[in-house]
Amino acid sequence: MMDINYYIKTTYNDDALWFTREVEKPHHTMRIAKCFRLKNYLHGTHEVLNRQDTVYKNQKFTVRKIVLHNTKTILNFHSNYLLGKPTTLTGTESLVSDIQSVYNYGNYNSIDWELMDKIGKYGDSYEYIYIDDNGNITSKVFDSACSYPVFADDGSYVGFIEYWTNKENISYWNVYYPDRVEEWTNEGSSPYAKPDKTGENVVHYDPQMLSSTDNSTGLPIHYYNASDWDYREGEGLLELIQPIMDELEDIYSKMGDSIYTLSLNPILLNIGQPIQGSVKNNDSVGYMYNVELGGDLKYVASTMDSNSIKLYLTEIQNQLNFNAYMPSILGGNTNVANVSEVSLRMLYQLADIYAMLNERVMRNGFNTRFNIIRKLLGRNDKGEYVNVEFNYARPQNVTETLDNIQKQVQIGAMSIETAVEKSPLTPDKTQELERLKKDNKGKTDNSNVDTNIVNNDTVTA
C-alpha cells in the first residue's frame, strides 16, 4: 500500500509544490466543474432559461421560463428523513456516555445533517475531526467544490487538498498529510512569466507556506455514494433527477405559452375584402366588422387534448417520484386515513430503501469517526464498542409501536435499555437511562419509611 511520500516522489519527483499540479489533474477539474454546475442549478440556472423568445402578432413575445425548485424539496426530504432526528448511540455504557458528551458539545447532529446534504447534492462529503480552541472535539465539513482527495495509483487514499481562489485572485491550499497540515498561499508572492501549454507567457505566483501543524486525527473522512463511473468519487441524487426536472420545466413552459397564445388569444381570420371603415385591430373586442358578400370572419383557436397532456404529466411525475425515492403520498397522489404501522412502511418503502443506502455510507464514515474520537479520549480498549442507530423521520403509529415494545418487555424478550432505544418518545437514550437510575435509587431509599405515621394520621382524620 502506497503512502503520500512515495506518491509525491514517484509522481512529482519530490516537488515541494506538488499540490499545485495535483489540483490541475483532469479527473479533479471534471469533478469540480460538475460541482459548480450543480451549484448553479440549485441557485436557479436551469436549462429552461435558454428558451428563445419569438414574435407573436407582429410583436416580441417573451416565452415562459418556468423554474421549479422541487429538487431542493426532494434533497431536504431525504436528508431530514435519515438525519432530521438525532442518531442514537449504542454499545458499552461508559464509552457511549463519553462519546455522547462529545456529540453534544461538538454539535454533531448538525454536522451529520450537513454531510448527508452534500452527499445528496454532489455525491461526496468530507469531514475533518479536530480539537477547537475551547478543548471540544468537533468536525469541519468541507465545501465539495474545494475538496481534492489524493489517490495513489493503487487506489489508496493518501492525502487531501483544500484549494480555492478568492475574488482578488489569491489562491489558498490547505494540504492534509496523515501527520501534519500545511497552509499555503500565493498572496504577496513575486510574479513571473511562464509559458503555458500553448506557448504563451502567463503570469504565475509561487505559493508560500504560512504554517505547518501536527495532525493527530489523520486524513479527512470521505463519505460518498458508490459511482459506476469512477471508484474515487460519488454520485449524488441531484444528478439522477435533474434530466426529469428539465423535462417538466420545458413542458410546463410550453403548455403555458400554448394556453395563452392558442386558446386565450385566438387569431382573427378574415376571408374576403373588408369594407372601408371597418375595424382592423385584431385585439379589439365588441366592434362591428363588415366584409363583402360571401366573405367570412372567424377566430382560429387550437383545441388541446387535455387527457393526453394529463397522462403525460402524470407519468413524468410518477417517474420523478420513482427516481427520487419519494413516497407518492407526499405528492398528494394517495389518500390515507387511520393507517397501521405496516401500511406506513409500505407507503414509505422507496424512501426507506434510499435511507438504507445512505445509512450504509454514513455508518462507514461514523465507524472511522468513532475510532478517531476514541483515540483522542484515550479509550482504546477493544473490549468496548460503540454503534449508531438511525431514527427515520417516518410517520409512526406511536400507540402501536409502544404496545409492541411493552409486550416484548413483559415476555422477557427485550431489556429496559433496548426499550428506551427503540421508543419513539426517547430523544436521548443515555440521558433517559441516567434518569431511570435516579428514579430507581430514590424508590429504594424511600422503601424503609415508617408507615405507622401515615396510618395514624389516616385513623385520626
Asked if pLDDT for residue 257 goes beyond 60, the answer is yes
Same domain, 37 and 182: yes
Same domain, 238 and 322: yes
283 belongs to a structural domain: no
Same domain, 91 and 184: no
pLDDT score of 453: 42
280 belongs to a structural domain: no
Q: Are 287 and 268 in contact (CB under 8 A)?
A: no
Same domain, 349 and 243: yes
17 belongs to a structural domain: yes
362 belongs to a structural domain: yes
pLDDT score of 435: 83
pLDDT score of 461: 34
Stated pTM of the model:
0.78
Confidence of residue 320 (pLDDT cuts 50, 70, 90): confident
Helical H segments across 66-107, by residue range: 70-83, 93-106
Same domain, 243 and 312: yes
Overall average pLDDT of the 399-415 stretch: 86
- Domain final residue, candidates 393, 424, 456: 393
> 49 vs 309, which has greater pLDDT?
49
State the DSSP H helix or E strand holding residue 373, giving kind and residue range, or none if neither.
Answer: helix 349-377
Nearest to 352 by CA among 390, 314, 317: 390
The Cα–Cα gap between 423 and 304 comes to 54
Contacts of 45 (CB under 8 A, 6+ apart): none
Same domain, 329 and 428: no
> 24 vs 282, which has greater pLDDT?
24
149 belongs to a structural domain: yes
Overall average pLDDT of the 307-335 stretch: 74
Confidence of residue 188 (pLDDT cuts 50, 70, 90): confident
Same domain, 388 and 403: no
Same domain, 208 and 185: yes
- Domain final residue, candidates 373, 393, 413: 393
Contacts of 300 (CB under 8 A, 6+ apart): 266, 267, 268, 269
Same domain, 242 and 350: yes
First to last CA, the chain: 85
Confidence of residue 303 (pLDDT cuts 50, 70, 90): low
Same domain, 205 and 350: no
The alpha carbon dihedral of 348, 351, 355, 357 has a sign of positive
Nearest to 395 by CA among 70, 110, 77, 72: 77
Backbone angles phi, psi at 419, to 5 degrees: -60, -40
- Domain final residue, candidates 393, 413, 443: 393
Same domain, 369 and 410: no
Backbone angles phi, psi at 59, to 5 degrees: -135, 155
416 belongs to a structural domain: yes
Same domain, 331 and 241: yes
The Cα–Cα gap between 98 and 103 comes to 9
pLDDT score of 304: 67
Overall average pLDDT of the 373-385 stretch: 92
In which order are the strands placed within the sheet that holds 137-141? 137-141, 124-131, 221-224
Domain count, the chain: 3
129 belongs to a structural domain: no
Asked if pLDDT for residue 194 goes beyond 70, the answer is yes
Asked if pLDDT for residue 209 goes beyond 90, the answer is yes
Nearest to 79 by CA among 355, 330, 349, 365: 355
pLDDT score of 347: 78
51-55, 104-108, 279-283, 327-331, range with the lowest pLDDT? 279-283
> Which domain does 211 fall in, by range?
1-45+143-219
**pLDDT tens digits along 56-111:** 777 888 888 988 888 999 999 999 999 998 898 989 989 999 999 999 999 999 99
DSSP letters spanning 4-35: HHHHHHHHHTT-TTHHHHHTTSHHHHHHHHHH
The count of other CB atoms within 10 Å of the CB of residue 248 is 19
Contacts of 22 (CB under 8 A, 6+ apart): 12, 28, 148, 150, 161
**pLDDT tens digits along 24-41:** 999 999 999 999 999 999
300 belongs to a structural domain: no
pLDDT score of 337: 54
